Amino acid sequence: MNIYFAPLEGITGYSYRNAHHRLFTGIDRYYTPFVAPNYTHHFKGKEMADVAPENNAGLPLVPQILSNRPEDFLWAAGELYERGCREINLNLGCPMPTVVRKKRGAGQLADLDALDRFLEEICAGMDREYGLRTDTAATASCPDPAGQAPGLRFSVKTRIGVEDASHAADLLKIYNRYPICELTVHPRTQKDMYKNTPDLDVFAMFLEGSAHPVVYNGDICSAEDLAALRDRFPKVDAIMIGRGLITNPALARELRGGDRLRKTELRSFHDALYDEAVRTLPGTAPILGRMKELWFYMGTNFRDAERYLKEIRKSGTLVQYRAAVRTLFARCEL
């Protein structure tokens, strides 16, 4: 089974991905949080750093683009191709109102004719320039401008609708017309945001009717979750995991039958992420913001830890933060 690390904007930037790849096994591909090109055809500084080959050396990486304008998408795809990326993922799932209002992400699912035209234009453009390939067996490429074969794979990450899933079958018909190498389905609507449970009936429809390999995404947090999914869908052989991996960075290893997360390795991972946050972020507030967001997920691994986690949340300086983390690791077990 292939296991992919989902993109999580604000969390799984290159520092996170590198630390994870160095300390944990089991991930076949890391997807970048979206880059969102606009008419200026310049990546923002943070986007540029996130996809730079030197910041992703040795990482099986798939960059993701959020765009509804073919010329901007194709510009960004070209930039990524030149950096040595050989798969590009299109974000058709972001549910955030600021994105959806601009008819991007899950907002693109509201007008299927426009989506169809968009896909037609970007697929034609990518095929003309680079030659689209759909071989899923291809190993994921690391960004490396020097050593990559020609050809480009195009994948899609989608939700199942905006208000509801009543147009999901039409959506699937559209996807079936294009040379998509993998279709990742997060079976929630835009309106669901991250609430409610994934709609497995609609996922079943995608799995049965898709002309492309389908990747399941949503709420896989344990071996039991995966077992339940495989029970119902024995055909699924690729999954994408986001929050479950942020919570338990050893989850992919565990799902493959390996060791459970150890406290010492969680500590090493935390320390690597903290050092990177200090190195790359401008000041105490963003560093603490980043680390506290991680603790929202990682904190649930510890038993009887609420009062220690509260100290972490309350910390206002790096000294207080480090002391609170030290106390948590000293007093609590996973």
Ligand X SMILES: Cc1cc2nc3c(=O)[nH]c(=O)nc-3n(C[C@H](O)[C@H](O)[C@H](O)COP(=O)(O)O)c2cc1C
Binding flag, residue 219, ligand X (CB under 6 A): yes
Stretch touching ligand X by CB under 6 A, among 5-13, 169-177, 203-211, 312-320: 5-13
Phi and psi at residue 183, in whole multiples of 5°?
A: -115, 110
The dihedral built from the CA positions of residue 196, 202, 208 and 212, taken in this order, carries a sign that is negative
Stretch touching ligand X by CB under 6 A, among 86-94, 164-172, 203-211, 299-307: 86-94
Stretch touching ligand X by CB under 6 A, among 136-144, 235-243, 296-304, 317-325: 235-243
Binding flag, residue 217, ligand X (CB under 6 A): yes
Inter-axis angle of helices 70-82 and 112-130, nearest 10: 30
Selected from 13, 84, 107, 244, the binder of ligand X by CB under 6 A is: 244
Phi and psi at residue 280, in whole multiples of 5°?
A: -105, -20
Nearest C-alpha neighbor of 55 from the set 3, 6, 4, 19 = 19
Helix (H, G, I), strand (E, B) or coil at 183: strand
Stretch touching ligand X by CB under 6 A, among 69-77, 80-88, 172-180, 213-221: 213-221
**Nearest residue to ligand X, using CB?**
242
CA distance linking residue 101 with residue 96, whole number of Å: 9
Inter-axis angle of helices 112-130 and 168-176, nearest 10: 20
Binding flag, residue 190, ligand X (CB under 6 A): no
Binding flag, residue 243, ligand X (CB under 6 A): yes
Binding flag, residue 206, ligand X (CB under 6 A): no
Nearest C-alpha neighbor of 223 from the set 194, 199, 256 = 256
Cβ distance to ligand X smaller for residue 215 or 328: 215
CA distance linking residue 312 with residue 288, whole number of Å: 9
Could you tell me what percentage of the chain is helix, strand and coil, using 3-state DSSP and rounding each to the nearest 5?
50, 10, 40
Cβ atoms 239, 226 nearer than 8 A: yes
Cβ distance to ligand X smaller for residue 33 or 213: 33
Selected from 4, 16, 34, 73, the binder of ligand X by CB under 6 A is: 34
In Å, how far from its chain's centre is CA 178?
22
Binding flag, residue 230, ligand X (CB under 6 A): no
Selected from 60, 218, 249, 299, the binder of ligand X by CB under 6 A is: 218
Stretch touching ligand X by CB under 6 A, among 75-83, 89-97, 275-283, 326-334: 89-97
Binding flag, residue 261, ligand X (CB under 6 A): no
Q: How far is the CB of 307 from ligand X (least distance, A)?
A: 26
Nearest C-alpha neighbor of 291 from the set 264, 262, 307, 311 = 311
Between residue 138 and residue 157, which ones bind ligand X under the rule CB under 6 A?
157
Cβ distance to ligand X smaller for residue 199 or 219: 219
Nearest C-alpha neighbor of 117 from the set 103, 129, 130 = 103
Cβ distance to ligand X smaller for residue 60 or 244: 244
Q: How far is the CB of 333 from ligand X (least distance, A)?
A: 25
List interacting residues with ligand X (CB under 6 A): 6-11, 33-34, 64, 91, 93-94, 157, 186, 217-220, 241-244
